[in-house]
Structure 1
């Protein structure tokens, strides 16, 4: 551990932190300066660069993932490649495709990472490795860019910001073993959002019961999903959490409902509307992914999952702790160290105070004992003096009588 970090850690040279500013003083403006336009400038500048959002789609074949993504972003993102058989996919493939979406001057570079072949093999033990390797590879690529000249430029962010995991709508009172194992492995690496696919195959009662069973298994197996486990802005997700896991429907077709064209599916018994919250949770999932928490998903990937990967990589290379001073956990570690040091100092101060009080009491007892001894000795000396005074008076009386008797004889 370097000496500078050790001295900072011990509090001799306190560090305000990598992003903290020195103390400021309030000054009043005599005239408007235009500071209120700074947010407008930031918004205008932010529109110049496209936003990057990378979303991975995982689930067994036949759950309508492709159709759902087309419905979610109101654009034909992917084409149907036809059904796959068990023998057609020997392993899970990773298929990222980037699309550029523009709305009101804001450009979104959307990368959809498909995982064809997931769950299609008889032996599913190796289904997780390609997905985990891809996520780690993007973290490693970003870490290498931070350590190179690219740090001075705009680093292209290829990290997976959200993973949509499609659950088969079986209606059982539990998750399948494949779902549990996948969610346990990936929930600590990426923002996982569980989705019940093809919700129109379940009745309202079956969907509610299946949701409760999934939530019960998530808690039982300590599976941390987004937004419950990681979202920072709790106010925006309180209303959305009650719909988790989201039961959704996807459709590329427009149907006529009351003279209005809407996305949905028609059946002999009626029709199902994609954007009708009575029929599915599609609108609430889109609200979470795009309108309310897209930026939070990107920030959570940076501050939680990537920071954990970066810290582990740095420690594995034998780098000192001071190298992590710019890490997101730096301030929390320093605050914890300061709090621990303060608690230790308080404990030592209490021990010293108790020791001082004990010694004072011991000294007081010793002084009291000595005072009592001196008082007793003084009493004894006074008694001896009184006795000597009486003896002296007796001898003086005897002497006076002898002198008087002698004078009488003369």
Structure 2
């Protein structure tokens, strides 16, 4: 009788462990979070315009030409720009940086975080300036990757999540774009360049399929625009080219929507976690091992 009563309680009682996800979500949304992007590519590929388009805000003034006959204004230094975007009460701090010396800059952010982490009286919430994603802009030549692209992407992939994009993809026909994407994917494999996303033992079947879908799209062929154009009587973000008008958010025109969803919806948290668990952890382990070896090799002081 007593045993039967116990079994009934086990079957009907509700403990509430499943509320943990809503608790975590509430704390995260209340505190806000940081997502740090570095954009890399040659001058004139529309890096600033694309970032502004993705986050639906004017975050960066474009360095490109204002008039057709104006020479391109070059940007050859690291530019650190920090913005807070608020959407439906959720705060997102976005740090955007571009150009050389890229690897040093990324490692400097790891080093700064490590120093704060090792401080005896560290802050409760350490401001995270580690780079979570590198958007690498590829010129829409339709040919092979440039040697510099191969070298830089290979070096960057060792320290950051690299996501390649074909800039100003509307300069290519659909057939040219697909052929170019296939060439790039083949070269990435040939040169053993390991790009994000990565599969781990913790991934479930849904996550594995999602990552496989992203790998089949990469490099994202994108078009950015902060201007509105009229298509079929509707005002949309787009730009005019020699073939007509490109609707930035039309999946038949470019892959901007796929990139935006990837960065802000499906993979944002994973980009942050991968940075902490893979790239930063590798840097941290190396630094602490070097520190330990330095202490062991230090000669004893005379008493």
Fold match, TM over 0.5? yes
CA distance in 1, matches of 2:198, 2:44: 28
Cross-structure match for 1:66: 48
Q: Does 1:303 align with 2:277?
A: yes
Give unpaired runs (5+ residues) of structure 1. 1-26, 116-126, 321-410
Task: Tell me the TM-score normalised to structure 1 length.
Answer: 0.63
Deviation at 1:169, TM superposition (A): 0.7
Aligned to 1:50: 32
1:276 aligns with 2:260: no
Q: Is the contact between residue 166 and residue 222 of structure 2 (CA under 8 Å) also seen in structure 1?
A: yes
C-alpha contact (below 8 Å) 2:170/2:241 kept by paired residues: no
Cα drift, residue 33 of structure 1? 5.0
**2:161 equivalent among 191, 203, 208:** 191
Answer 1 or 2: which has greater helix percent.
1
Q: Name whichever of 97-106 and 192-201 sits farther off.
A: 97-106
Structure 2 Cα separation of the partners of residues 35 and 213 of structure 1: 49
SS at match of 2:93: strand
**TM-score of the superposed pair, with normalisation by structure 2:** 0.84
Asked whether 1:226 is paired with 2:208, we answer: no
Structure 1 residue 131, shift from structure 2 partner: 1.0
C-alpha separation between the residues in 2 aligned to 1:38 and 1:86? 52
Q: Which residue of 1 aligns with 2:105?
A: 134
Please identify the structure whose Cα radius of gyration is greater.
1
**Structure-2 separation of matches of 1:35 and 1:275:** 40
Distance in 2, Cα, partners of 1:207 & 1:98? 33
Cα deviation, residue 163, structure 1: 0.3
Structure with greater strand share of residues: 2
Once the two structures are TM-superposed, the CA of residue 103 in structure 1 deviates from its matched residue by 1.5
Q: Following superposition of structure 1 onto structure 2, how do residues 150-161 of structure 1 map, counting pairs within 5 Å?
A: 151=122, 153-161=124-132
* C-alpha RMSD of the superposition: 2.4
The answer to whether the 8 A contact 1:228-1:241 is kept is no
Tell me, yes or no, if the aligned pair for 1:165 and 1:192 is still in contact at 8 Å: yes
Compute the displacement of 1:96 (Å). 1.1
Structure of greater relative contact order (alpha carbons < 8 Å, 6+ residues apart): 2
What is the CA deviation profile of residues 314-354 of structure 1, one whole-angstrom value per residue up to 9, with x for unaligned ones? 1212359xxxxxxxxxxxxxxxxxxxxxxxxxxxxxxxxxx
Structure 2 unmatched ranges of 5 or more = 1-8, 295-303
Count residues with an aligned counterpart: 278
Q: In structure 1, how many angstroms separate the alpha carbons of the residues matched to 2:36 and 2:125?
A: 17
Q: Does 1:110 align with 2:110?
A: no
SS in 2 for 1:95: coil
Return the alpha-carbon distance in structure 2 between the equivalents of residues 268 and 220 of structure 1: 35
- Provide closer, same or farther for how the CA distance between residues 305 and 279 of structure 1 changes in structure 2, counting only shifts above 3 A: same
2:217 is the counterpart of 1:247: no
Alignment of 1:169 onto 2:140: yes
